[in-house]
Amino acid sequence: MQEGIIQSSLSGRYLLRPPSDSGAAPLLAGFHGYGQTAEDEFNLLCSIPGAERWFCCSIEALHYIDTPAGIHGASWMTTRDRDQHIEENVRYVDAVIERIRVLYPVNDTLCFHGFSQGTGMACRAALLGRHRAEHVMLLGGDIPPELAVNDHIGRVHLARGNRDRLYSQERYECDIARLQDSGIAFVTSEFTGGHRANEAYFKAAGGFLEGA
């Protein structure tokens, strides 16, 4: 038996909210968690204080799934054909960013935001994609261990709820050490909570965006 792989065209969706003021503005692009949709990340982005000054874009994963709880959502990654899917995902994100920059008055400041599984996509978009991010925000998920962290990732906001069982304290501290070893500018935020954004997170995230 011989196995072959052929590339085909896939359609993805994204949600976009322009800033409250007209004129050029920075772009905040977000990636949702496993089993979520673009709406979930869109609501998270728009809840960050100061996000109204940004174009807020939530990008939905290409792989649709039904979770064990019967929820319809999407996933950024599968274990099968992993490298191929990573490449496809990065090209997809590049195309979304490029389209938005053509259609809207977006300035050169780009920030990627990822929640849970979406943190891996935020890191890959920054480190492997065509569009350099000045800032990367990671909530409840780690930096993929196979990635070589360098200054293409920009300034990082690394956040974790202290009761988060999916993104452990050990993995959180490992990511801190990786950022330190790479000489990357970063800010940490460990708040009281679990595997989700809450008011404490939004306050910390808003402070980070304010300095972006």
Cβ atoms of 85 and 117 within 8 Å: the answer is: no
Q: Are 133 and 112 in contact (CB under 8 A)?
A: yes
Q: What are the pLDDT digits (tens) for 66-93? A: 877 777 899 998 777 777 888 999 999 9
pTM: 0.93
pLDDT at 33 over 90: yes
Residue/partner pairs of 18-24 with CB below 8 Å, 24 or more apart? 18/55, 18/104, 19/52, 19/53, 19/54, 19/55, 20/52, 20/53, 21/53, 23/105, 24/105, 24/106, 24/107
Question: Mean pLDDT across the stretch 138-165?
Answer: 95
- Report how far residue 126's alpha carbon sits from residue 184's, in angstroms, rounded to the nearest whole number: 13
Could you identify the residue written with the tokens 């925000």? Answer: 137
**pLDDT value of position 8:** 65
Mean pLDDT within 22-50: 96
Q: Domain boundaries in the chain? A: 14-210
Place of tokens 């990008």: 59
**Do β-strands 25-31 and 55-59 pair in parallel, antiparallel, or remain unpaired?**
parallel
Burial 11-42 (b: 16+ CB within 10 A, else e): ebebbbbebeeeeebbbbbbbbbbbbbbebbb
- Output the six-digit token pair for 161: 């709820």
| DSSP character string of 58-113 | EE--SEEEE-TTS-EEEES--STTHHHHHHHHHHHHHHHHHHHHHHS-EEEEEEEE
Say which CATH class 14-210 falls into. alpha beta
CA distance 54 to 153: 19
Q: Provide the pLDDT for residue 151.
A: 85
Check residue 198 and report its DSSP letter: -
User: What percent of the chain has a predicted confidence (pLDDT) above 90?
Assistant: 80
Is the four-CA dihedral 29, 35, 38, 41 of positive or negative sign? negative
Phi, psi dihedral angles at 52 (to 5 degrees): -65, -15
